[in-house]
Amino acid sequence: MNELSPSSKPPSGIKRFIILWMGLMMGCFVILSGALFIVNSTIHSMSLRAINDMNALKTAQKLERAILEEWREDMLWRTTGKAYFLQKKKNAMLVVENAFMELDNYNTSDEDDKLIEEIQKKYQDYYISAQSSPIQYLKMSRGSEAMIAAVERFRDRKEKTLESTVTSSRKLHLMLDQWTLSIIFFVSLIAAVGSYILIGRILKPTLSLIRTARSFGAGNLTARVPEGHADELGALCRTFNTMADDISDRDQAHRNFVASVVHDLNNPIMVIGASAARIKRKTAMPQELAPVLDRIIRQADRLEKMTHDLMIDIQIESGNLYLVKKELNLTVFLGETVSSQAEIAPEHDIQLSADEGLIVYADEKKLERVFSNLISNAAKYSPNGANIEVKATASKNFAVVEIRDHGEGMSREEIDSLFQPFGRLDRTKHLAAGAGLGLFSVKKIIEAHGGSISVRSEPGEGSAFIVSIPLFQ
């Protein structure tokens, strides 16, 4: 017997696969999370830059309006000399100065520095020309235009920067969407492939093990499960097969022992019976020994029949049932069997109804055991005085024999276990002695003849055993 030593560890292929499988999916999620963090950080930085550029554009527009307003109010003041226009000019100059201060806050590059310095220089030139005496209107006009042109260049640059930032942000969003979809697809593919592999590595071997265990439990001692992969379930399957081999070997050893005992008993029993019969035939035998010899002969015949039946049981259990078939008139055979059972169970009325000319090709002795067993069971499990009905008919290519009793009946769960080895009902064990091999042997004998046996029964309604045997063609 092969055994796993206590210190040995079974293969961990499934465990390793699950760890790798989950690790791959977790790795993908980590990559996706990292990518989301990086992209969100970049998008956040771009958003701040875009806001900065938008504010710079607003300030540039405000500066441009303030320069134009200052120029207009200065011309009106110089033309009319009214203090109202002078005050508005001063207010516009304050706006210009504030705008220059704000522009410094939105400086993001060296080129921005240069443009802002250019605007400030143009403004200084304009301011100097405005303070000169006499007033040089042409120079002021050109300085104002040059200052506005510098502001527009600054504004154009910020517009281009803002457009570039928005474009980059869109591309980044698109790339993030593509990355997300790719990783989701990859994770889904890993999950699908992993699930498919796990079904093959876990579910299929488990179902196969369940089916094999059920078959083995039902008496098929040759049932073995495919060992599959070198993993935990493979180790379990190999352990099951080792156990099944050990049980099968022990069962075979048990059958061999019983067969040997039966063989060794059979010859002495035959000698005892034959010797008693020879003594009885002697004319000089004392009369008082005759009943004793009769009992010896009957018991020897009974023991011989029991050993013969036991040998049949051993053949059935080992799958080596040997049949001696011949043409058999089932109608006549059933009549003889019913008569024999009627003598054994006189407290029951066993009624036979059979079609004429039912010919089968069968082993007479084994069929005698089948129908004797079924009729005997019907008598055992029926109340005294109850009728037992035996009906034989032809149906297509089969002879159908139905044995009906009027006993306690059986439930569906009880019927399912009826033909198992040693399958006896707990509530009927007190009614008759036996090992519970009878119906199991009956079923095997019928199946060996190419027939079948079934049961109809309801609790409290009695039971009907239906045997089908192929008719001889």
Band the pLDDT of 326: cuts 50, 70, 90: very high
Q: What local confidence, expressed as pLDDT, does residue 77 receive?
A: 84
**What does the pLDDT average to over 36-55?**
83
Mean residue pLDDT of the chain comes to 81
**What does the pLDDT average to over 298-305?**
80
pLDDT digit string, tens, across residues 332-366: 999 999 998 888 888 889 999 999 989 999 999 88
Task: Return the top range by mean pLDDT from 108-122, 196-210, 445-459.
Answer: 445-459
- Domain at 326-470, CATH homologous superfamily: Histidine kinase-like ATPase, C-terminal domain (3.30.565.10)
Q: What local confidence, expressed as pLDDT, does residue 425 receive?
A: 47
Band the pLDDT of 421: cuts 50, 70, 90: low
**What does the pLDDT average to over 392-415?**
89
**What does the pLDDT average to over 365-381?**
89
Q: What local confidence, expressed as pLDDT, does residue 191 receive?
A: 82
Q: Is the pLDDT of residue 165 over 80?
A: yes
Q: What local confidence, expressed as pLDDT, does residue 435 receive?
A: 35
Give me the CATH code for the 13-193 domain, please: 1.20.120
Let me know: does 244 contact 254? Beta carbons within 8 Å.
no
Considering only 135-139, 140-144, 219-223, which range has the smallest mean pLDDT? 135-139
Q: What local confidence, expressed as pLDDT, does residue 228 receive?
A: 73
Band the pLDDT of 423: cuts 50, 70, 90: very low
Q: What local confidence, expressed as pLDDT, does residue 136 receive?
A: 65
Band the pLDDT of 392: cuts 50, 70, 90: very high
pLDDT digit string, tens, across residues 220-266: 788 898 887 777 788 888 898 999 999 888 888 877 787 777 777 77
Q: Is the pLDDT of residue 218 over 90?
A: no
| pLDDT above 90 as % of the chain | 15
Q: What local confidence, expressed as pLDDT, does residue 283 receive?
A: 56
Considering only 180-184, 241-245, 441-445, which range has the smallest mean pLDDT? 180-184
13 or 9, which is more confident: 13
**What does the pLDDT average to over 389-396?**
92
Alpha-carbon span 56 to 147, nearest angstrom: 17
Task: Return the top range by mean pLDDT from 71-80, 265-274, 363-372.
Answer: 363-372
Tokens coding 246: 């050990």
**What does the pLDDT average to over 164-190?**
83
